[in-house]
Amino acid sequence: MKLRVAGDHVKGDEEEHDAAAGEAKSELKELDVFLELRIEESSLKLENRVAVPGSPKRNLKKRWLVREEEDTFRRRALAQDVGMGRDDGCCRWNTSIFYGVRNNALFCRSWFPVFGDLKGIMIIIHGLNEHSGRYAEFARQLTLCNFGVYAMDWIGHGGSDGLHGYVPSLDHVVADTGAFLESIKSENPGIPCFLFGHSTGGAVVLKAASHPQIEAMVEGVILTSPALRVKPSHPIVGAVAPIFSLVAPRFQFKGANKRGIPVSRDPAALVAKYSDPLVYTGPIRVRTGHEILRISSYLMRNFMSVTVPFFVLHGTADKVTDPLASQDLYNKAASEIKDIKLYDGFLHDLLFEPEREEIAQDIINWMEKRLCNSI
């Protein structure tokens, strides 16, 4: 499912919608067949609730689980091999496994400065379909300013457990984020912490910080291009996602996840992203898409309840998430400390734009200002 900002209208939308509607007709036939199979499967469950050992159905499920496990091991090996920095002696880094609230193994990274006193710690929550290793250069810039960095791959992403690109519940990601923060705080007592989230990761961070115990543990949150207002561009996703996410959560729409929307003005950054085997580029799964729509809808309804200090950054030319929603968050939030910066003409992946170092410096300056004001 390709996600487009609500209210966004670009040249060719009408033609694109007609083409998508044509795709929808063929996919509806596919959905009918899929639903018939699910209904037949449910009937069989009622007749025989316990699968017979060695039955075709049981063997199929076993093979599926084996393939998923093999894919997880493959991705974890790739994640372990991702370069984490330059060998210039200024930064030390490590990888580890953190067990989430549902006991899933989540692949994590950390970067720390070699010299100087630690000012604070940033916890990075990446966006949909990417992984923590993409933020190595950002982490290096943070360590040069004496900030430590931790980053966690969500379930189904990077080197973590789960089907690649499949998120059964963003509430689980929110809970894992809170547990990860608590673990980091216990390992680094007295060190100020900040939560950072990009795109859907920004939505996760904002929802996590809505819990008083999480808000109390952070000096503030930083949101880049947060997924606060999104809608499905595929004409049938919005209608069927709530039901289909329950009966066929892993189903993929062939007409979704097209790469037609650019996310960076840096061609090299685009090539690096879409040639990265740890970046999921397949069609979005129904449950994952539904979860994004669900969390963004929740956040939109609760902007006025936001009290955590935050800094939101967004490109005005972003066609994936809505910069106007970030402005709405800034206008409506009850936070006493809140800041926004809109970058004229910039696209979705702000930290992979040509001006990435300046954007990172804006983030560092905001954190340092927060630390000075909290003394």
- Domain borders along the chain are 3-373
pLDDT in tens, 334-343: 999 999 999 9
Count CA atoms within 13 Å of residue 102 on its CB side: 15
Q: What is the pTM of this model?
A: 0.82
In whole angstroms, give the CA distance from residue 178 to residue 184. 10
Weakest-pLDDT range from 18-27, 40-49, 302-311, 358-367: 40-49
pLDDT, position 169: 93
Q: What share of the chain is helix, strand, coil (3-state, %, to 5)?
A: 45, 15, 40
pLDDT in tens, 61-105: 677 788 889 999 999 999 999 999 887 788 999 999 999 999 999
- Asked whether the beta carbons of 96 and 76 are under 8 A apart, the reply is no
Check if CATH label 3.30.1360.120 holds for domain 3-373. no
In whole angstroms, give the CA distance from residue 235 to residue 241. 11
Q: Which long-range CB contacts under 8 A does 268-273 form with residues at least 24 apart? A: 269/349, 269/352, 269/353, 273/130, 273/134, 273/349, 273/352
Statement: residue 46 has pLDDT above 60: no
Pick from 71, 74, 94: which is nearest to 84 by CA? Answer: 94
pLDDT in tens, 130-152: 999 999 999 999 999 999 999 99
- Asked whether the beta carbons of 315 and 347 are under 8 A apart, the reply is yes
Pick from 113, 84, 114: which is nearest to 96 by CA? Answer: 84
Alpha helices in 108-250, H assignment, sequence order: 136-144, 170-187, 200-208, 212-215, 237-247
pLDDT, position 53: 56
